[in-house]
C-alpha cells in the first residue's frame, strides 16, 4: 500500500511534473533532505521535543491539579470556572504579544504558550469528570470512614480518569499545533523554526521532510499515551 502511494507520488512529481517543482517534491527529494540535513534535523527534533516536553508537562500537571480542584471544591469552582470559561476559548497563540512582556526569554514564552494550549483541555475535562462522579461512591467512602484526602485521591481521581485522558489527547494535538507557532518566536532551532526558515528560502522539500517528521513524532506520542491509558484504565475493559 505504502509502495503504491510512493510510486504515485514519484510519478506525479518527478516523472510527469503534474505537480510543479519548487512547490512539490518527489519522495527521492525528501530522502535527499534526510541524507544531507540529518544532523541539523536531529538538533531541531531535540529542541522541539524539549520545548514540547516542558510545555506539555507543565500544562498537564497544572491543568490536572486545577481541574481536580475545580471539580471537587464548590468554592474553587465559583471563582475559577468563570476565568476558565473566559480564557478557555481564546486560542493560545493570541497571548503571544503579552507573553513577550511577562517572560524573560522567548523560550519561557514558548513554554507558556504550549502549556496553555495543552493545559486548558486537561483542566476542563478533569473538572467535569470529577464533578460528574456518581455521588454514591462518596457516600460509600464516607460510610467506610474515609476523609477528604481519600475521597479525592482514591475515588474522585480514578473515577474521572477516562475524562482526564480525553483532555490529555486533546491537549496533545493542540500543543503540537502551537509548537510550530511558538518556535517562530525567535527560536534558534526546532522543527517549527526549520519549516519557517526553509519556506523563506523555498526549500519546500525540506518543509515536507519536516512535516513528515512532525507527523511521526505526534503519532508516536499519541501511541505512547494510548498505551499508558490502557494500562492505567484496564479496569474499564467491560465498560467501553
Partner 1 sequence: MAAQAQALRAAPTGAGGSVAIVLRSVSYAFDLHGEPLPVLDSIDLSVAAGEFVALLGPSGCGKSTLLRLVAGLDRPSAGSMTGDGEEIVSPDPSRILVFQDPTLFPWMTVWGNVAAGLDARGVLAHHRGRVDETIALVDLTAFERAYPHQLSGGMAQRAALARALVNDPALMLLDEPLGKLDSLTRLTLQAELLSLWRKKGFTAILVTHDVEEALQLASRVVVLSERPAHVKAEFKVSRPYPRHRDDPALVALRRQVFATLGLET
CA dihedral defined by 224, 229, 235, 236, rounded to 10 degrees?
A: -120
User: In terms of Cα–Cα distance, which of 55, 36, 26, 60 is closest to 225?
Assistant: 60
Residue in 11, 31, 90, 140 binding partner 1, rule: CB under 8 A: 140
To the nearest whole angstrom, how small is the minimum distance from the Cβ of residue 129 to partner 1?
Answer: 13
CA contacts within 13 A on the Cβ side of 15: 7
Stretch of 90-98, 145-153, 199-207, 209-217 contacting partner 1, by CB under 8 A:
145-153
* Number of other CB atoms surrounding residue 70 within 10 Å: 24
Q: How far apart are CA 102 and CA 97, in angstroms?
A: 9
Binding of partner 1 at residue 154 (CB under 8 A)?
Answer: yes
Binding of partner 1 at residue 144 (CB under 8 A)?
Answer: yes
To the nearest whole angstrom, how small is the minimum distance from the Cβ of residue 170 to partner 1?
Answer: 22
Binding of partner 1 at residue 166 (CB under 8 A)?
Answer: no
Task: Give the x/- contact pattern for partner 1 in 12-51, rule: CB under 8 A.
Answer: ----------------------------------------
Q: How far apart are CA 11 and CA 18, in angstroms?
A: 9
Query: Residue numbers of the site for partner 1 (CB under 8 A)?
Result: 136-137, 139-147, 150, 154-155, 158-159, 161, 233-239
Amino acid at each position: 500500500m505504502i509502495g503504491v502511494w510512493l510510486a504515485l507520488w514519484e510519478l506525479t512529481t518527478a516523472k510527469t511534473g503534474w505537480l510543479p517543482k519548487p512547490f512539490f517534491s518527489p519522495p527521492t527529494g525528501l530522502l535527499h533532505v534526510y541524507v544531507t540535513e540529518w544532523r541539523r534535523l536531529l538538533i531541531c527534533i531535540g529542541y522541539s521535543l524539549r520545548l514540547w516536553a516542558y510545555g506539555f508537562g507543565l500544562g498537564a500537571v497544572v491543568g490536572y491539579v486545577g481541574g481536580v480542584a475545580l471539580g471537587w471544591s464548590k468554592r474553587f469552582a465559583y471563582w475559577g470556572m468563570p476565568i476558565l470559561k473566559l480564557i478557555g476559548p481564546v486560542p493560545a497563540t493570541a497571548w503571544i504579544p503579552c507573553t513577550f512582556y511577562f517572560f524573560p526569554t522567548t523560550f519561557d514564552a514558548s513554554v507558556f504558550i504550549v502549556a496553555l494550549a495543552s493545559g486548558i483541555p486537561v483542566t476542563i475535562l478533569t473538572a467535569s469528570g470529577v464533578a460528574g462522579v456518581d455521588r454514591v461512591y462518596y457516600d460509600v467512602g464516607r460510610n467506610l470512614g474515609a476523609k477528604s484526602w481519600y475521597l479525592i485521591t482514591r475515588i474522585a481521581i480514578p473515577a474521572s480518569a477516562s475524562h482526564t485522558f480525553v483532555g490529555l489527547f486533546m491537549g496533545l494535538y493542540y500543543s503540537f499545533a502551537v509548537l510550530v507557532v511558538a518556535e517562530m518566536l525567535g527560536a534558534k532551532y526546532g522543527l517549527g523554526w526549520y519549516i519557517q526558515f526553509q519556506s523563506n528560502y523555498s526549500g519546500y522539500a525540506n518543509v515536507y521532510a519536516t512535516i513528515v517528521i512532525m507527523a511521526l513524532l505526534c503519532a508516536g506520542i499519541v501511541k505512547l499515551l494510548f498505551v499508558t491509558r490502557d494500562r492505567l484504565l484496564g479496569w474499564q475493559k467491560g465498560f467501553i
